[in-house]
Every structure is written in structure tokens, then in C-alpha cells.
Amino acid sequence: MDTPRIFLVDDDDLTRGMLAARFREDGFGVEEFSGGETFLAAVAIGGAPQIVLLDIEMEGVDGLETCRQYHAREEHPAPVIFISMHDDLETRLRAYDVGGSDYLIKPVDAEEVLLKVQRAIASADASRSLQTQANYAQAAAFTMMSSMSEMGVVVQFLRDSFACGDLRALADAIANAFAQYQLACVVKLDNRFEQLTASGHGECTQLELSILNHASSLDRIFQFRDRVVLNYPNITLVCPNMPIGDPDREGRLRDHLAILAEGAGARVLAMEKERAVARQAEGIVRAAAALGATLEQIDSDDMRYRLKLLDLMNDYVNGLERSFVHLGLSSQQEDALSEAARALAHTCSDLSAEGKEIGNRLRAVADDLQRLIRGDGPGG
């Protein structure tokens, strides 16, 4: 435990000597001063007491003025206990006004002074401890508020990224988020359809392009001095000006930028899937249109073919029946041949009807497909 240090300031050698002896006996480090000027000079060159015992009635600079100057010069002055022969209220109030923490009347009792000093030191230590805790709590609160504000940039970016319809818009959103952190960035975004490189100032220079190509082969998070590289699927980010002079902020920003990069990479992948789905939808629409046109053509051709087949079968039966005159067939033979020809005609008609039914089924499928494209849902 450090030795408590006390400064005794009194032009009365007897009182000063008596108190100094008692404090040394109790383990204090004691420095004696016969006037305010010598005390202030000692403090000015680095003297740092834990407590000051200060006489009011001294030649030259009195105790009240000494205390006032001491408090004016020191950012964290030690407690000052006044010793005075005056017991009036006015002097006590003046002592309080210049920064005194306690007041003793001469002649003093050494044991009482020792008890007062011990309590004053304990109170000052407790006050410093509370101040330290308060400073820590304030710093923690400021850090938390800063972190929340910084995280707000990430949240806003993620919201904005949902509205980005292409890689250029996403790159602009990334640059805007970095700018809010007062950071520069160079970014490469890519998927199986396209690739884009950009920087906070616009198009990438050739040097920036070479840096991106090299950075994409590094670890997921790589830092060299104030340069940070972030690699996630579909994205490479390079930040050339991380605030390395502030380790706490640097660590927070590195975490925030990692979340931002991962979110941007996920959005690039989502864009790829959206584009693939859009292409598939376009293909389905084209195929449905082609199917509809083909079915219409089939219906038209089927009707024409059925009519033509019917005419051919009628012509065949009629021609067959006319030929009976020249063939010399019996009535039974003629009836048999006519019946066979008509049966063939009916069979052809039935086959044509079956073809029409298959066409109707395909038409129903095409109609369901069109309803799905319109978002109406399949028919019943």
C-alpha cells in the first residue's frame, strides 16, 4: 500500500512540528512548508499531496488565498483542511468558498487532526473511485450509442439493398454506407450472369482493379495496417482507410463492415436467382404462346383433314357401289362389300374424333398454363 502523503503549511513551527511528528509516527509521508508561497512552488514543480493541512493566519500569502490559487492551478486538488484561531462564521464561509473541505480551531489536538485526515483521505479515495466508475460508465454509454448509430447504418443498408434491382444500384448503396462511416471502398460484385467493379468515386482505376483481383484470393477478413479486405460469396470489398488510431472503433467497424459485406453478397445471389426465375418465366410465356398457336393450327388442320377424309370415304363408298353393276356380284356380296366400306368409314370417323379429344386435352393444359402465367391459378 502506498504511503499517504500530507503537506503541512503553517508558519507556527511548534504546531507544524507537533503535527508532523504525529503523522510520521502513523506512517505518513510528511512535507512541511512555513508559508503559502513555498507550498505553491512545490506543487508547481510536481508535488502531489493526498491532503493539505493549511493555516489561515500566515505572513505574506494567507491560507485563504493560498487555497484559492491551489485550486485554480490544479485540475484535481487534494482535500484542504484549514487550521485557524478564528471561530467566526464569516471565516468559515470564506474557507468553504475557496475550496476547503474541513475546518479546525487552534489549538488543535493531534489525535483529532489524525482522525480528520484519515477520514478526508478515505472520502477523497471513495470520490475518486466513484468518479472513475462514472467516467467508465459514461465512456461505455458513449461507446454503446456510437455502436448503435454505426449499426443503424448497416440496418439501413440492408433495407436499401432489398430495393436494389441491379449490381450498379447495390454498389452505390455500399459506397453510401461506407461514406457514412467516413470510409472509402472499392468493390467487386459478381454472379453467373454479370460482374461489376466500382469505387466510392465512380469507376475503378486500373490499379484498383488489380488490387481487387489480388484481394479476392485472400482470407475472408484480412487486414494490413489501415487496409481491410472482406471476401464473401459474390463480393470482394477493400477499405483503404480504417481508423487504426482508435482500436475500439476499428473493431466495431470491422464487425459492421463484415455484416454489410455478407448482406450485400446475399443480395447479389438473390439477384442471380431473380434473374434466373425471370428468364424461366419468359421462356414459359414464350412456350405457352407457341403451344397455343400450335394448338390453334392443329385444330384448323384437324377440321380440314376430317372433312377431307369424310369426303374421301363417301366418294369411296359411292364409287364402290357404282362398280357393283360391272362386277356381276350377287346381292349378298354387294351388301357385304357395302357394309365393310361403311364400317371402315365409321372407324376412320371414330379415330378422327379420338384425335380431336387429345387436342381438347392439350388445349385444357394450355389454358391452365395461361391462367398460371396470369396468376389466376389452374382451372377446375
Residues 305, 267, single domain; the answer is: no
**End residue of a domain, out of 80, 111, 136:** 136
Residues 283, 270, single domain; the answer is: no
Residues 267, 283, single domain; the answer is: no
CATH code of the domain in which 214 resides:
3.30.450.40
Q: What is the pLDDT of residue 142?
A: 58
Cell of 216: 479476392
Cell of 324: 357393283
* Cβ atoms of residues 221 and 115 within 8 Å: no
* CB-CB neighbours of 141 under 10 Å: 10
Residues 107, 159, single domain; the answer is: no
Is 379 within the bounds of a domain? no
Is 120 within the bounds of a domain? yes
Is 380 within the bounds of a domain? no
138-145 — which CB contacts under 8 Å span 24+ positions? 143/248
Q: Within its chain, how far is the Cα of 35 from the centroid? A: 62
H helices of 48-88, where? 63-73
Count of domains for the chain: 3
Q: In terms of residues, how long is the chain?
A: 380
Cell of 60: 505574506
Is 206 within the bounds of a domain? yes
Name the residue among 145, 143, 177 with its Cα closest to residue 158: 177
CA atoms of 362 and 358, how far apart (whole Å)? 6
Q: What is the pLDDT of residue 96?
A: 93
Q: What is the pLDDT of residue 330?
A: 74
Residues 209, 250, single domain; the answer is: yes
Q: What is the pLDDT of residue 275?
A: 87
- 105-131 per-position pLDDT tens digit: 988 888 888 988 888 888 888 877 877
Q: What is the pLDDT of residue 300?
A: 76
Amino acid symbol at 215: A
Is 109 within the bounds of a domain? yes
Residues 188, 293, single domain; the answer is: no
Residues 204, 252, single domain; the answer is: yes
Q: What is the pLDDT of residue 69?
A: 94
* Cβ atoms of residues 52 and 120 within 8 Å: no
- In order of 297, 337, 343, 346, 356, the CA distances from 349 in angstroms are 20, 19, 10, 5, 11
Q: Is 289 helix (H, G, I), strand (E, B) or coil?
A: helix
**End residue of a domain, out of 251, 274, 297:** 274
Residues 111, 186, single domain; the answer is: no
pLDDT by position in tens, the chain (length 380): 578 899 999 998 998 999 999 999 988 999 999 999 999 999 999 888 989 999 999 988 999 999 999 999 998 899 999 999 888 999 999 999 999 989 999 888 888 889 888 888 888 888 778 777 866 766 555 556 555 678 889 999 999 999 998 999 999 999 999 999 999 999 999 998 899 999 888 788 888 989 898 998 888 999 988 999 999 999 999 999 998 888 888 988 999 999 999 999 999 999 999 888 888 878 877 877 887 788 777 777 777 777 777 777 777 777 777 776 677 677 787 777 778 777 777 777 666 666 667 667 777 777 777 777 666 655 55
Q: What is the pLDDT of residue 139?
A: 57
- Burial group, residue 139, by CB count within 10 angstroms (0-12, 13-18, 19+): exposed
Which helix (H) or strand (E) segment is 239 a member of? strand 235-239
CA atoms of 247 and 226, how far apart (whole Å)? 11
Is 267 within the bounds of a domain? yes
**End residue of a domain, out of 108, 136, 164:** 136
Domain limits at 192?
A: 144-274
Residues 14, 68, single domain; the answer is: yes
- 43-96 per-position pLDDT tens digit: 999 888 989 999 999 988 999 999 999 999 998 899 999 999 888 999 999 999
Which helix (H) or strand (E) segment is 7 a member of? strand 5-9
Q: Which residues contact 91 (CB under 8 A, 6 or more apart)?
A: 56, 84
Residues 120, 11, single domain; the answer is: yes
Is 161 within the bounds of a domain? yes
Is 177 within the bounds of a domain? yes
Residues 165, 104, single domain; the answer is: no
Q: What is the pLDDT of residue 324?
A: 66
Q: Is 29 helix (H, G, I), strand (E, B) or coil?
A: strand
* Cβ atoms of residues 134 and 112 within 8 Å: no
* Cβ atoms of residues 221 and 230 within 8 Å: yes
Largest CA distance in the chain: 172
CA atoms of 95 and 83, how far apart (whole Å)? 10
Residues 319, 216, single domain; the answer is: no
CATH code of the domain in which 103 resides:
3.40.50.2300
